[in-house]
Amino acid sequence: MPEINPFKNTNFIKEISKEKEKENLFRNPEGFEKIAENFGIRKLGSGNECFVVDDPESKEKVIAISFNNLSPEEAKDVYYSSKIWSTLFPHNFPKIYSASAETDDNKFNGSVRQKIHGKTLDDQKYNYARMMNADIKEKRSLSSVIKNIKNYLLNKNTETQYPFANTLQEMKLLSRTPYNLSFFIDINGGNFIKNDDGDEYYVDTIKMGEGIRHMNAEINIEAVMDYMRKKGHDESDIAKVTGSIKRLNEIFVNNNQKR
């Protein structure tokens, strides 16, 4: 699994590490924003788990800096889980390039993934509200807007070639026997970006490890391979997915049984 520090300026990561030690991190990301601004790095967003910035070395990548420091096991979980879903559904999940836990030699803690050019559903909430026949002139509460976004995501959108609602149904199928591909999706407008082609991408962190450990059952590689062949995936994609499944099974099932 690739583990690299994407920032050539090591002082940036040193300042970020200092900021992580402060209290009230989740409620006060302004310190991260100030550091990024001082180093000329563009902030894209932040959530409960990470602070996301442009990759200073590539216009096609973004860097998610973990707030609460991924463990080596969690970094592998993020990397292999993301690789599985982005290969199965490349129009709904961004590619992942690396995920790293902090070590003595590498102070970067987070991941590097494909940049999706577009707007989050939060940015487009009034457009989506219109699609749901909402009266924009009414003074709607935030919960009402969020409900409209969820309804939009969970129902087929005929204007989108790869609606996330369809992918979610496939994911639910794959989470059951005989496949056992567990997942958790946070249906929140800020976690989705609609790109310039109209594709809907889930851009929040996705991890499968705890679900696998909870079920204490291996992901069925043969069943997943059969599913992928029926869906028209080539052997290269199948190799990527099966290789990642083997690593997750090893980490979260086989090691769990040894404890």
Integer Cα distance of 45 and 32 in angstroms: 11
Residue 130 has pLDDT above 60, yes or no: no
Contact 206, 86 (CB under 8 A): no
For range 24-52, the mean pLDDT: 82
pLDDT, position 25: 52
Q: Shortest CA distance to 240 belongs to which of 99, 80, 93, 11?
A: 80
Check residues 76 and 135 and name the one with the higher pLDDT. 76
pLDDT, position 76: 96
Integer Cα distance of 11 and 49 in angstroms: 22
What confidence tier does 7 reach under pLDDT thresholds 50, 70, 90?
Answer: confident
The structure tokens 């790869």 sit at 162
- pLDDT digits 0-9 by tens, 79-109: 999 999 999 999 999 999 999 998 877 778 9
Alpha helices for 100-234 (secondary structure H): 125-131, 142-154, 164-174, 209-215, 221-230
Write down the domain spans for the chain.
10-115, 119-258
Integer Cα distance of 137 and 134 in angstroms: 9
Tell me whether strands 118-120 and 192-195 are parallel, antiparallel or unpaired: antiparallel
Residues 6 or more apart in contact with residue 138 via CB below 8 angstroms: none
**Tell me, what amino acid is at 9?**
N
The domain 10-115 is placed in CATH, from the list 3.30.200.20, 3.10.20.30, 3.40.50.720, 3.40.630.30, at 3.30.200.20
pLDDT, position 58: 94
Distance of CA 100 to the CA centre of its chain: 15
- pLDDT digits 0-9 by tens, 132-161: 444 444 445 555 655 666 777 777 665 778
